[in-house]
Amino acid sequence: MRFVVLLFGLLAILLTAIAGASLMFLDYVLKSLPPDFKLDPQAWSSPTGQGFSETGLFLLIAAVYGFLGIILSMMRCGWQGALMLGIPVLFTAVMNPYTLAFTGLQGFTGLLSFLVFPLPLNPPAPKEEAEDDEEEE
């Protein structure tokens, strides 16, 4: 299961990072348009009023946290990795709900990471030599 999390996770953080960089670039492009260029403000605005560059920055930070979550999941710390993968998705969704289209795979990877468990702790095996010494006495 760890390698499934790795595969989906790398794809998810790549998608999240590309979306963050493109949103930052989109904000730059929209600000550099000439004033006579007509854009519908309803189509190019966030429902929460946050700018695209702030949301893009949060998406880039979410990609970094996602990478750390994948590393934790590969070290069999699945629940901690799931939180590192999932919580940034929720925060960016609060900033701009449209970003769930890009971060949904990272959230799904976080849910898969909940299925990664640590190795079970086995009690040490009893030593046979110590038992033989006790029988001889």
- Cα–Cα distance between 137 and 135 in angstroms, integer? 6
Read off the pLDDT of residues 71-122 as tens digits, 9 standing for 90 and up.
Answer: 999 898 888 999 999 999 999 999 889 899 999 999 999 999 998 888 777 8
52 token code pair: 């695209």
Number of domains in the chain: 1
136 within some domain:
no
Does residue 43 have a pLDDT over 70?
no
Query: In the prediction, which pLDDT does 29 show?
Result: 82
Query: In the prediction, which pLDDT does 1 show?
Result: 82
Non-local CB neighbours of 59 within 8 Å, separated by 6+ positions: 16, 17, 19, 20, 23, 92, 99, 102, 103
92 within some domain:
yes
pTM of this prediction exceeds 0.75: yes
Note down the domain range covering 56. Answer: 2-32+48-117
- Cα–Cα distance between 121 and 93 in angstroms, integer? 38
